[in-house]
Amino acid sequence: MSLSTLARSGSLLLSICIPLAMVGCQPKASNTSLPPASPDKPKIALVMKSLANEFFSTMAEGAKQHQSQNSPQYELIVNGIKDERDLARQAAIIDEMIAAKVQAIVVAPADSKALVPVLRRAKLAGLVVVNIDNKLDEEILKAESLTVPFVGPNNRLGAQSVGQYLAKSLKPGDQVAVLEGIRTSFNATQRRLGFEQAMKDAGIQIVDSQSANWETNQANTIAASMLNAHPDLKAILAANDSMALGAMAAIKAANKTDTVQVVGFDNISAAQEAIRQGKMLATADQHGDQLAVYGIELALKLLQDPNSIPEDRETPVDLITAGSLPQ
């Protein structure tokens, strides 16, 4: 779904306010664009990363659907940032949500460390905070004496299964390269480790590994230089599908579609299409549409019973190949 469609549909729903940064919806306490405060219905803010990434627009859709099916239980405010690396904006959104007196924040942090201080402010203000998708840094949480439950997949195992599938079509000694996500994100690190494990187990050589910060354009530039520097490259393993798309474009431009394979992570529609067409080998589905829903459900539970002990929840992640996609 496009951003504009998302924004349009969001503005039609009474309790949903779509990305602050992009449609100028500034839910400060004085701003009338926020849904009216309801004395008994809690307001939950979903704070995501880049809504230019289909993974997060799918997540937003799933959350909106859940809210419309459970509208007596809660109101939902949906936020996202424009740029994967705009940590300052994501932190500002969280501050705005505290000022808007929401009762809970469900957050996919753009960085595992840098977002901890603002989430600490949220907890001190009495808000329920649930961490989804990208886990906050455990050491920093511990140092700050903060407990924030995490809801999300085992990224390492997900990436490992994608890597293992790729390894079946390669032979020991083959050369591959990795496109990593933002290095200060825990899920980016875990996916890199999963790819590395699968390659190591199969005797495949990783000759280059660089961060393209989750983004298609950066991945395109970096993949082009990788292909140039390593003419025998047999595959590129991208830590998300946005970067896999950039890699595919670089492979096409280098006339290497017959020799260099691509795998990704997320199962966005463009990746599904590429897999069906044989341009991409595999991806992982971490069920983005349900991820925020699980987080919201945990937030509701904690709001209902503030004394309950918040527990982490591991969510599913599945290998997607041509064989598993409906034709």
Tell me how far, at minimum, the Cβ of 176 lies from ligand ALL, in Å: 20
Is the CB of 180 or the CB of 266 nearer to ligand ALL? 266
Binding pattern for the stretch 247-266 against ligand ALL, x by CB under 6 A and - elsewhere:
------------------xx
Binding pattern for the stretch 207-226 against ligand ALL, x by CB under 6 A and - elsewhere:
-------x------------
Is the CB of 100 or the CB of 159 nearer to ligand ALL? 159
Half-sphere exposure of 222 (CA within 13 A, CB side): 24
Tell me how far, at minimum, the Cβ of 49 lies from ligand ALL, in Å: 4
Tell me how far, at minimum, the Cβ of 255 lies from ligand ALL, in Å: 28
Is the CB of 101 or the CB of 113 nearer to ligand ALL? 113
Query: Which residue in the shown chain puts its C-beta closest to ligand ALL?
Result: 240
User: Is residue 133 a contact residue for ligand ALL (CB under 6 A)?
Assistant: yes
Number of residues located near ligand ALL, criterion CB under 6 A: 14
Is the CB of 57 or the CB of 240 nearer to ligand ALL? 240
Is the CB of 84 or the CB of 208 nearer to ligand ALL? 84
Binding pattern for the stretch 159-198 against ligand ALL, x by CB under 6 A and - elsewhere:
----------------------------x-----------
Phi, psi at residue 312, to the nearest 5°? -65, 155
* Footprint (CB under 6 A) of ligand ALL, residues 46-65: 49-50, 53, 55
Tell me how far, at minimum, the Cβ of 214 lies from ligand ALL, in Å: 4
Tell me how far, at minimum, the Cβ of 191 lies from ligand ALL, in Å: 8
With CB under 6 A as the contact rule, the residue among 240, 261, 267, 315 that binds ligand ALL is 240
Is the CB of 107 or the CB of 202 nearer to ligand ALL? 107
Please write down the HEC assignment for all residues of the chain: CCHHHHHHHHHHCCCCCCCHHHHCCCCCCCCCCCCCCCCCCCEEEEEEEECCCHHHHHHHHHHHHHHHHCCCCCEEEEEEECCCCCHHHHHHHHHHHHHCCCCEEEECCCCCCCCHHHHHHHHHCCCEEEEECCCCCHHHHHHCCCCCCEEECCHHHHHHHHHHHHHCCCCCCCEEEEEECCCCCHHHHHHHHHHHHHHHHCCCEEEEEEECCCCHHHHHHHHHHHHHHCCCEEEEEECCHHHHHHHHHHHHHCCCCCCCEEECCCCCHHHHHHHHCCCCCEEEECCHHHHHHHHHHHHHHHHHCCCCCCCCEECCCEEEECCCCCC
Is the CB of 44 or the CB of 87 nearer to ligand ALL? 87
219 touches 189 (CB < 8 A): no
264 touches 244 (CB < 8 A): yes
Binding site for ligand ALL (CB under 6 A): 49-50, 53, 55, 84, 108, 133-134, 187, 214, 240, 242, 265-266
